Amino acid sequence: MNSEAIWGEGAQQFQQMFANGWSQALDSFQKMDLGSAKAPMPLRLAPEKLQALQAQYLQEASDLWQKGLQQGTSAAGDKRFSGEGWAQNPVAAFSAAAYLLNARTLMQLAEAVEADEKTRARIRFGVEQWMAAMAPSNFLAFNPDAQKKALETQGESIAKGIANLLHDLRQGHVSMTDESLFEVGRNVATTEGAVVFENDLFQLIEYKPLTAKVYERPFLMVPPCINKFYILDLQPENSLVRYAIEQGHRTFVVSWRNPDASLGHRTWDDYIDEAVLTAIATVQKIAGAEQINALGFCVGGTMLANALAVLAARGEEPVASATFLTTLIDFADTGILDVFIDEAFVRFREMQLGQGGLMKGQDLASTFSFLRPNDLVWNYVVGNYLKGETPPPFDLLYWNSDSTNLPGPYYAWYLRNFYLENKLVQPDALTVCGEKIDLGRVDLPVYIYGSREDHIVPITAAYASTQALPGDKRFVMGASGHIAGVINPPAKGKRSHWIRADGELPPTLDEWLTGATEHKGSWWPDWAAWLQAHAGKQIAAPKAYGKAPRFKAIEPAPGRYVKQKA
């Protein structure tokens, strides 16, 4: 019997299986606890959409079957199946192409579900996770490249893969790089400096000047406390810290303590008062400066915005200018992370952690990794375990694996007031450190940077900060994602950034883009010129760290806190 007859006989049964299977899938999604505090709404597909997708699938499956039997097929364009083994093995090529057809159809079905947008987003996210996990490349039995390597190495790659798996199980996370090649203070976080202040929450690092003169207004960096500070100081050639020092800024950085059980009761107010506000005041005292310049990165930027609002409520202006890098201030658009956030989820976290405890760093790291499962999870499963490879050294991925905990009350308050209720942009809706805060009173020059492909702080959300802050503003959009877009030193000559020469900031990003011009290379020089304009006159560089007798050097940079493991 020929292939056409085989396919024709099975088509009707297959079509019925297809319809029944998707009906069962919708029923499963409906029964799942998707976090909604409301009663689940029935999930259904319009009959005409389902029928059209069935017909399309059957036609594409028939075409694939014909090609697979007669002349082979391929999954060109997907790097998971780009190895020679996939192209040379007709069965493997067919399995990859069939998988991609199924994945594509499932995503189309998810898009066609008749439900509210949040439910559809959750279904899309679930389907994406499922399909990423079920790729034939993830299994030794279906991966011809891994099989070929096993034969060529006489099984050594399999033995090494098992050893890699056992190693990663012991350390508690998938290895993204050869972590044995990096050490904090030896070949990452190496810019010369000293810890000049510390309390239970953070150490303040002052860096050695690299110029004979420095600007009179010192410069404070506030990194995210969900990561280690040295993303800003990886190695000399890609260190934003070193770059700022080279521009003549007397530079200080907050190095967060990695919380243990003793800090499990700490709150958002504690971090604003005893960390950000304390760091600002300490830098002022050490430098003898009336005002400083400050930078906040990611959650560090959200915390800096809170601190500035508290200071404004008190009628104080110790900060002359602020830089916000990939920062959420207006949480109306939180991108893919929104699939996790609703009243039930936040209430659960409040019950679990609101009165004390730790949000484990590895749980946070895993969540962020699964936002890009093919690149940040399964890619390493295949390389490390199926092929027995050691991933190449990469400082940024070493940092990414160096996770930090969060105090439960801090985390739960952050979820409710920002991610769920978006109160930071509502005047006087929040009380922080005893003050009703209103960003409308934070009237200072700000530099706002967003990354075009950011999946954590969508570029539209980064741009929204331009509408939430009242002062003189400059917005720049960079290429790439949340980290690679920020850590983009000029010497590399990589990527691009976009600026509007007229400085206009219309209500939406799309409107802004119509007048923006692409510039090759890093955005750092543009930011450096902007910061210089707010740094004051130049004075002689200090000869010693800190300021005696109160703020003496405690220990060399990068200090103890950054070396604490979660």
Contact 477, 452 (CB under 8 A): yes
For residue 294, the SS3 value is strand
Which tokens hold the place of 512? 């802004």
Close Cβ partners of 318 (under 8 Å, ≥ 6 residues apart): 280, 281, 284, 290, 291, 292, 311
Which positions ≥6 away from 293 have C-beta within 8 Å?
217, 218, 219, 220, 249, 319, 320, 321, 322, 323, 531, 534, 535
255 close to 203: Cβ distance less than 8 angstroms = yes
Task: Please state, in angstroms and rounded to a whole number, the distance separating the CA atoms of residues 310 and 437.
Answer: 6
Q: Of 531, 522, 529, whose CA–CA distance to 479 is shortest?
A: 522
Q: Where are the beta strands (DSSP E) in 386-532?
A: 406-407, 430-432, 435-437, 446-451, 473-478, 496-499, 517-520
Inter-residue contact 447 to 527 (CB < 8 Å): yes
Burial class from Cβ neighbours inside 10 Å (0-12, 13-18, 19+) for residue 78 reads middle
Whole-angstrom Cα distance, residue 557 to residue 194? 5
First to last CA, the chain: 63
The amino acid that residue 142 corresponds to is: F
Catalytic residues: 298
> Partners of 321 in the beta sheet?
293
Grouping H, G, I as helix, E, B as strand and the rest as coil, residue 488 is coil
409 close to 263: Cβ distance less than 8 angstroms: no
Q: How far apart are CA 72 and CA 326, in angstroms?
A: 46
Phi/psi of residue 148, nearest 5 degrees: -60, -40
For residue 339, what is the DSSP state? Answer: G
Q: Looking up tokens 């976080």, which residue turns up? A: 189
Distance CA(25)–CA(510), nearest Å, equals: 37
d(CA 439, CA 458): 21
Question: At 312, phi and psi to the nearest 5?
Answer: -65, -40
Provide the β-strand partners of residue 359: 406
Q: From 521, 498, 452, select the one nearest 462 (Cα to Cα).
A: 452
Whole-angstrom distance, CA of residue 20 vs CA of residue 11: 14
Say how far apart CA 8 and CA 290 lie, in whole Å: 82
Q: Other CB atoms closer than 10 Å to residue 108's CB: what's the count?
A: 14
Nearest to 514 by CA among 535, 534, 500: 500
